[in-house]
């Protein structure tokens, strides 16, 4: 069964610093991988997705993620954090009912001024 | 564009009561999902539907029921509410199998006391 593990339930960075949120996957087939963001009191929004095309995927709001098969990783990065990036971030893999998504436990990103 | 609409936003139930969480989407999506989100646990799939008249269980279906009489609506029914069902519930829909992108509602926060 497909699964993802997010390392770190909370990550704190300074405004302007690099953001790195870690995600490792476990999949018996080439995975489809996703990053979603959840702002307070809102539903989840898709940031980006990997579907076996380019290994470096660019998403919205300046985020990108790199698929590394040798490391079974799909880490999310952003060169310079903004206060507005403070949110909960979820890594997810295709798998589940009707090819729904299996989500990681989430990483809460805190931006310090 | 309403997207996915969930009602109510908040609800408090007493143990043993029943209620229905409403979900409707106006994007003509065939695939719809119900997730629950518990702190630090990510999202767990409760039920899903691949079209009107077709539903199936997800990872955590016990204590819930669903129906899908129309493409637009996918209500979630709680019978005999229990404290373990205290959670935030999200409805989502997608236009393609394989969950290329899920569109989420803003959630229903439910407390069972």
Whether residue A9 and residue B56 make contact (CB cut-off 8 A), yes or no, is no
Residue A41: predicted pLDDT = 82
Instruction: Give the three-class secondary structure for B84.
Output: helix
Residues of A in contact with B105 (CB under 8 A): 43
Is pLDDT at B99 greater than 60 in this prediction? no
Reported as a pLDDT band with limits 50, 70 and 90, residue B1 is low
- Among candidates A41, A45, A97 on the partner chain, residue whose Cβ is nearest the Cβ of B56: A97
> CB–CB of A88/B39 below 8 Å?
no
Residues of B in contact with A5 (CB under 8 A): none
Q: Residue A52: which region, alpha, beta or left (left: phi > 0; alpha: psi -120 to 50)?
A: left
Query: Best interface-test mutation with B: which of A97, A102, A103, A104 has the largest number of B CBs within 10 A?
Result: A97
CB pairs under 8 A between A and B: 75
Give tens-digit pLDDT for A58-78.
999 999 999 998 999 999 999
Give dist(CA B106, CA B92) in Å, integer.
9
- Determine contact: B98 vs chain A, CB below 8 A: yes
Residues of A in contact with B58 (CB under 8 A): 96-97, 100
Q: How far apart are the first and last CA of chain B?
A: 36
Whether residue B104 and residue A45 make contact (CB cut-off 8 A), yes or no, is yes
Give dist(CA B113, CA B105) in Å, integer.
25
Mean pLDDT value across chain A: 90
Closest CA to A74 of A107, A98, A39, A112: A107
Whether residue B4 and residue A43 make contact (CB cut-off 8 A), yes or no, is yes
Q: Calculate Rg over the CA atoms of chain B.
A: 13
> CB–CB of A24/A47 below 8 Å?
no
Is pLDDT at B101 greater than 90 in this prediction? no
Give tens-digit pLDDT for A32-48.
899 999 998 888 999 99
Give dist(CA A20, CA A12) in Å, integer.
10
Residue B67: predicted pLDDT = 95
Residues of B in contact with A49 (CB under 8 A): 100-101
Reported as a pLDDT band with limits 50, 70 and 90, residue B41 is confident
Q: B69-99: string of b/e by CB count within 10 Å (b at 16+)?
A: eebbebbbebeebeeebbbbbbbbbbeeeeb
Tokens of A74: 């799909």
Residue A97: predicted pLDDT = 57
- Between vectors from CA A86 to CA A80 and to CA A89, what angle results, nearest 5°? 95
Residue A98: predicted pLDDT = 59
- Among candidates A43, A51, A98 on the partner chain, residue whose Cβ is nearest the Cβ of B90: A43
Task: Locate the chain A residue with the closest alpha carbon to B31.
Answer: A98
Give tens-digit pLDDT for B58-88.
989 999 999 999 999 999 999 899 999 999 9
A95 C-beta neighbours (distance < 10 Å), count: 20
Reported as a pLDDT band with limits 50, 70 and 90, residue A102 is confident
Strand B108-112 with B10-13, pairing: parallel
Residue A39: predicted pLDDT = 92
- Determine contact: B108 vs chain A, CB below 8 A: no
């Amino acid at each position: 069964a497909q699964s993802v593990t997010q390392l770190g339930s909370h990550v704190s960075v300074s405004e302007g610093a690099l953001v790195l949120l870690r995600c490792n996957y476990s999949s018996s087939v080439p995975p489809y991988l996703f990053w979603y963001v959840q702002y307070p009191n809102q539903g989840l929004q898709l940031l980006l997705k990997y579907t076996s095309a380019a290994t470096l995927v660019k998403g919205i709001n300046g985020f990108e993620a790199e698929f590394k098969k040798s490391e079974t990783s799909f880490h999310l990065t952003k060169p310079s954090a903004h206060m507005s990036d403070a949110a909960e971030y979820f890594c997810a893999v295709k798998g589940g009912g009707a090819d729904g998504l299996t989500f990681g436990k989430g990483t809460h990103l805190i931006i310090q001024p | 564009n309403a997207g996915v609409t969930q009602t109510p936003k908040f609800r408090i139930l007493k143990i043993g009561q029943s209620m229905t969480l409403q979900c409707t989407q106006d994007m003509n999506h065939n695939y719809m999902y119900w997730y629950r989100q518990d702190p630090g646990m990510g999202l767990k799939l409760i039920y899903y539907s691949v079209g009107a008249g077709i539903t199936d269980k997800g990872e955590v279906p016990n204590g819930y029921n669903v129906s899908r009489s129309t493409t637009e609506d996918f209500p979630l029914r709680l019978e005999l509410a229990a404290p373990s069902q205290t959670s935030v519930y999200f409805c989502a829909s997608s236009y393609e199998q394989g969950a290329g992108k899920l569109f989420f509602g803003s959630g229903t926060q439910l407390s069972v006391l």
